[in-house]
Copies of this chain bind each other. A is one copy, B any other.
Amino acid sequence: MIKVGILGYGNLGRGVEAAIKKNSDMELAAVYTRRDPASLTIKTEGVPVKSTADLDTGKEDIDVLVICGGSATDLPEMTPKYAAMYNVIDSFDTHARVPEHFANVDAASKAAGKVGVISCGWDPGMFSLSRVYASAVLPDGQDYTFWGKGVSQGHSDAVRRIEGVLDCRQYTVPVPAALDSVRNGENPKLTTRQKHTRECFVVAEEGADLARIENEIKTMPNYFADYDTTVNFISAEEMKANHSGLPHGGSVIYSGTTSQGTKHVIEYSLKLDSNPEFTGSVLIACARAAARLNAEGKSGAMTLFDIAPAYLCRQTGEELRAHLL
Contacts and interface: CB of A to CB of B under 8 A. Distances in A.
Interface string A184-226: 0100000000000000000000000000000000000000000
Contacts of A304: 309
Nearest to A302: B308
Contact of A133 (B21, B266, B309): B309
A306 B308 contact: yes
A139 B22 contact: yes
Copies of this chain: 2
Nearest to A143: B324
A22 B19 CA distance: 41
A309 B305 contact: yes
A138 B281 contact: yes
A18 interface: yes
Given A19-B258, A274-B258, A320 B281 contact: no
Contacts of A265: 270-271
A322 B264 contact: no
Interface stretch (A1-9, A28-36, A94-102, A161-169): A94-102
A24 to B, nearest CB: 8
A235 B41 CA distance: 74
Interface string A245-280: 000000000000011011111111111111001101
A310 B306 contact: yes
A278 B265 CA distance: 10
B131 A321 contact: no
A318 interface: yes
A92 to B, nearest CB: 10
A72 interface: no
Given A305-B310, A308-B306, A325 B135 contact: no
Contacts of A259: 18, 21, 274, 277
Interface of A: 15, 18-19, 21-23, 95, 98-99, 102, 119, 124, 126, 128-133, 135-140, 143, 183, 185, 258-259, 261-274, 277-278, 280-282, 285, 288, 303-310, 312-314, 317-318, 320-322, 324-325
